[in-house]
Amino acid sequence: MLPQDLKPEQFTGYPTQARTLAVDNISILRELPLSFLPNLLREVIEYDYKFPLERQEIHEEISTLGALPAAQLREWFRPFRELSLPTSLERFDWLNQPAQFVEQLAAHLWSTHQMDLFRKAATEYGERIRAATPPTHPPIPRLGISIIGQDLSSYDGVLFRNLREHGTFFSNINPENGLRQLLDGATARAQAHPVPYGHWYVEGGRSMDHSSMLTFVSYKELEPARLALLRTMHTEIRRPGMGPEELRTDLAALQPAAVGLDNPGDAVLNHFQLKVLTEGSGTQIFSTTFAQWTAREALRRAQPLTLLVRFGPRQRERSMNELLSSTDDHSEPDLRGSLIDADMGAYYNWINQQRLPGANQSSFLAWFEGSSQAIAIGPSFARGASSKSKATLEEVLHWAGV
Amino acid sequence: MQKLFAGQTFSGPSLRGVAQELSSSRRDFLRSAAGMVLGGAFAGASPFLYAGPVKKRKVIVVTFGGGARDQETFAPSGQENIPHLLQELIPQASFFTQVVNRGILGHYVATASLATGVYETLNNFASVPPDHPTVFEYFRKDLKRPPTDAWVVAPSNGFSRIGESVSRPYGPGWGAQVILPKHLLLAAMSGATVDYEHLLRDNYETPLFAPQLGGNEFELQQLEKMLKLSVSDFKSYARTLSSPDELSIYVVQQLMRQQAPSLIWITMHDIDVAHTGAYSLYIDSIRRTDRLCAELWKMVQSDPEYAGNTTMLILPDFGRDSDGEAGGNGFQHHRTGDPSSRTTWMMALGSGVREGVIYDHPVQSTDLVPTLGSILGFQAKLSQGRPIQDLL
């Protein structure tokens, strides 16, 4: 089937709001080339489980396309139409399995050396959409907080190496009540600016008491879901004919309830957590990877105003097969390795925060938990500077103006 | 279109521009840190003219895998991770700053492309042979070499078919012997693997899948016949090792001592632990691979069969995604096809190689096989690449 053959009744497999969105805009969907449309449908089919800003962006993208004159629409999608696709992809059920189609499309593009052309087409399209739909700026400057080194008492290496050139390094922080001060700072922002999914607390280790106003995701609390997922994966791979692509297809079709993610009050967060576990490589086994990937996805998708990420200790390296096979991940932690992972993870958290609208007003703070070392980045802090002044984390937050 | 990051800037330097930046960065760093000179000064002078009496030429290819970025290796911030390459090997080497891989960025298919000189399009996760003749087939058929003269030591079951293509008139009977050290260890263990799990990691991209073996894989009984190792000695020594790549180097050492093949291809893979997202494990693996490369070169220098007549080439199969590429997740993967994941380097050292020289111009991954052909004396007729003149 080709996009031009789309009919409203074919969207019956879509969740309620996604179906309405697709049917209401079917005339524009019919105009899009097969090398592009499933990429958009992959977002549309998840609409019911998207964060508010994601929904807004899907609406804006479709509205923009719908408002284009026919000639301009053809011009925008000419590079996509020039890609050569096999008929096997036309026969694929891309309407109901857009994500799986995109995987097969990617494999085809790689094998036919068209990936660079696709990448260029996607880049140009992204620029055009962004020009047509200016980003939504946050109501208050964003704040990112990364806490690293849980349970490690000291470290003799250099921390925050990638971040130092962008902000001020503090070497005389008073660590007392530091965790509480940072969490209270995040909570205060959530209370002052209550926005759905606007303020997050991601925990990679032992969780702290926190306000219900914070969207909370925890590696430890997801342990039943992680283990259920690993069991599912092991069952799947023993089926005849299974391979990596088949497994990904099956995981993409998995529903949160299948791994026990059935919080009735928050289907959006249930789906988000499932995707972190099924789409993030290493998130099922290493808490540091889980925290970094969760932060990346939260920033990319929910665009929070506040994101506090506390990295926890991850288990020591064992063979990958052993790690994935094990139902017990309470092995001895690798504290030093976890700190190094988290140091890089903090850097990535900052990079990903800076990709969002309002980046020049955003602030970021990273702290080696329990220590005197922290780095602060933002309009209030000098770049490439260091400070030996005594300070509390509460004061640093205050200086950040957040 | 899947959203990357709102407000993300797609515009930026061209692919070629970024590749050149990476190349320049490596060049500048090596000129200052290792005192190397630019290769242009030597144009036209073949080092082989001055090589003197030549023993039977031998070549060892090492893929520095699976994929390491500049910021963790050749950029100033990465130099602490590769002390052996920088202080011991590079001063003896010709260094190519810009090796571009325009193929599929999966480890098996990319290694197969390196070995055939053609950008292969086979399924990265299946145990299938390359479509085009491998370097081993050209070498053995053109030079009439016996099966024991070309060997592959490879990291995972997925590489079991890499020694021999399905191409006519090459293919069956002309390929390399393939040793999969982990497969060997597993067979030696007869199922009791508790003490050896750390050596049996198969791959990191799809860790739950290890393709079923078929074809020309090394059989357990050959452990004693070819490597002159008893099963118990092999098991005992393996117990002292910390990673699959250490096991591979141990097997190579035995191979050199017992068979002294003229063409050895070693695929390192520890670095691909990066797919787990644990940065510290990725860095540890780079340091280990750096050390193992130096150890291998010392083995070459101390073995009379190899000292003085061996050219060793070290190159990654490809890189990893840059931190700035919003579609990726930095060091963790090699999925975006960005310049950082496509642009790597190559080091050549030993017989016939100019020492301490940097070459800045771009070469392609597919140029390796025809270059090996020129060094060893065979013609890579179906390769898409061209011989690298600076090594001839």
- Where exactly are the structural domains of chain A? 3-132, 143-400
Angle between helices B135-143 and B107-116 (to 10 degrees): 30
Average pLDDT over every residue of B249-261 = 96
- In CATH, the number for domain A143-400 is 3.40.720
Task: With beta carbons under 8 A apart, name residues in chain A contacting B207.
Answer: 320-321, 324
| pLDDT at residue B141 is higher than 80 | yes
Q: Show Cβ contacts of residue B243 under 8 Å, excluding neighbours closer than 6 positions.
A: B198, B199, B270, B285, B288
pLDDT score of B34: 62
pLDDT bin (cut points 50, 70, 90) of residue B19 is low
| pLDDT at residue B132 is higher than 90 | yes
pLDDT score of B197: 62
* Per-domain boundaries in chain B: 76-101+277-363, 104-274
Q: 3-class SS at B48? A: helix
| pLDDT at residue A277 is higher than 60 | yes
Q: Which two tokens stand for residue A155?
A: 């470290």
* Global confidence as pTM: 0.90
pLDDT score of A149: 97
pLDDT score of A256: 96
A288 Cα to chain B: minimum distance (Å): 7
Classify residue B215 by burial, with Cβ atoms within 10 Å: 0-12, 13-18, 19+: middle
Chain A within 8 Å of B330 (Cβ-Cβ)? Answer: yes
pLDDT score of B55: 63
Q: Closest partner residue to B7 among A245, A296, A357, by Cβ?
A: A357
| pLDDT at residue B199 is higher than 90 | no
CB A185 within 8 Å of CB A211? no
| pLDDT at residue A402 is higher than 90 | no
pLDDT score of B219: 64
CA distance B77 to A29: 48
Residue to mutate among B242, B276, B325, B338, with most A CBs inside 10 A, is B276
Pairing outcome for strands A173-174 and A391-392: parallel
Higher-pLDDT residue of A204 and A108 is A204
pLDDT score of A329: 52
- Is the Cβ pair A113, B119 closer than 8 Å? yes
DSSP state of B328: S
Higher-pLDDT residue of A216 and B77 is A216
Average pLDDT over every residue of B227-252 = 90
- Is the Cβ pair B276, A282 closer than 8 Å? yes
CB A142 within 8 Å of CB A378? no
Q: Closest chain A residue to B336 measured between Cα atoms?
A: A119
CA distance B331 to B286: 12
How high does pLDDT run on average in chain B? 84
Outline where A133-266 has alpha helix (H): 178-192, 223-237, 244-253
A249-258, A322-331, B126-135: least confident range: A322-331
CA distance B160 to B156: 7
CA distance A320 to A305: 36
pLDDT score of A322: 56
A189-203, B1-15, B205-219: least confident range: B1-15
Q: Closest partner residue to B197 among A119, A130, A322, by Cβ?
A: A322
Higher-pLDDT residue of B209 and B298 is B298
B366 Cα to chain A: minimum distance (Å): 15
Pairing outcome for strands A385-387 and B310-315: unpaired
ipTM of the complex: 0.91
CA distance B335 to B66: 13
Segment B35-89, tens digit of pLDDT: 677 775 444 444 444 444 446 899 999 999 878 898 899 888 899 999 999 999 9
Q: Closest partner residue to B323 among A129, A341, A351, by Cβ?
A: A351
Q: 3-class SS at A345? A: helix
Give the dihedral of Cα atoms B184, B187, B193, B198; nearest 10 deg.
10
- Is the Cβ pair B329, A356 closer than 8 Å? no
CB B94 within 8 Å of CB B354? yes
| pLDDT at residue A318 is higher than 70 | no
Q: Which helix (H) or strand (E) holds A130?
A: helix A115-132
Task: With beta carbons under 8 A apart, name residues in chain B contacting A296.
Answer: 329
pLDDT score of A323: 53
Segment B338-392, tens digit of pLDDT: 889 999 999 999 999 999 999 999 999 999 999 999 999 999 999 999 999 999 8
B88 Cα to chain A: minimum distance (Å): 25
CA distance A89 to A39: 14
Chain B within 8 Å of A117 (Cβ-Cβ)? Answer: no
Task: Please work out, in degrees rounded to the nearest 5, the angle formed at the alpha carbon of residue B48 by the alpha carbons of B42 and B51.
Answer: 115
DSSP state of B122: S
Segment A203-212, tens digit of pLDDT: 999 999 999 9
pLDDT bin (cut points 50, 70, 90) of residue B128 is confident
Residues of B (121-150) whose Cβ lies below 8 Å from A: 121, 125-126
Radius of gyration (Cα) for chain B, nearest Å? 20
Segment A342-395, tens digit of pLDDT: 999 999 999 999 999 999 999 999 999 999 999 999 999 999 999 999 999 999
pLDDT score of A239: 79
Higher-pLDDT residue of B259 and B159 is B259
Q: Closest partner residue to B280 among A285, A319, A341, by Cβ?
A: A341
| pLDDT at residue B13 is higher than 60 | no
Residues of chain A with pLDDT > 90: what percent?
Answer: 81
Q: Closest chain B residue to A357 measured between Cα atoms?
A: B7
pLDDT score of A242: 72
Outline where A162-286 has alpha helix (H): 178-192, 223-237, 244-253, 267-279
Q: Closest partner residue to A36 among B1, B280, B332, by Cβ?
A: B1
Task: Single out the residue of A188, A183, A187, A185 nearest to residue A206, CA to CA.
Answer: A183
- Is the Cβ pair A54, B4 closer than 8 Å? no
Higher-pLDDT residue of B89 and B326 is B89
pLDDT score of B7: 35
pLDDT score of B51: 43
A141-145, A284-288, B7-11: least confident range: B7-11
Q: Cis bond leading into B169, ω under 30°? A: yes
| pLDDT at residue B201 is higher than 80 | no
Q: Closest partner residue to A244 among B3, B125, B202, by Cβ?
A: B125
Q: Which two tokens stand for residue A291?
A: 């925290």
C-alpha distances (whole Å) from B198 to each of A48, B202, B245, B246, B281 are: 43, 10, 11, 11, 13
Residues of A (22-81) whose Cβ lies below 8 Å from B: 36, 39-40, 42-43, 53-54, 57, 61
Average pLDDT over every residue of B97-111 = 91
- Is the Cβ pair B204, A320 closer than 8 Å? yes
- Is the Cβ pair A243, B77 closer than 8 Å? no
CA distance B189 to B282: 28
pLDDT bin (cut points 50, 70, 90) of residue A324 is low
pLDDT score of B8: 38
CA distance A94 to A101: 5
Q: What type of residue sits at position B253?
A: Q
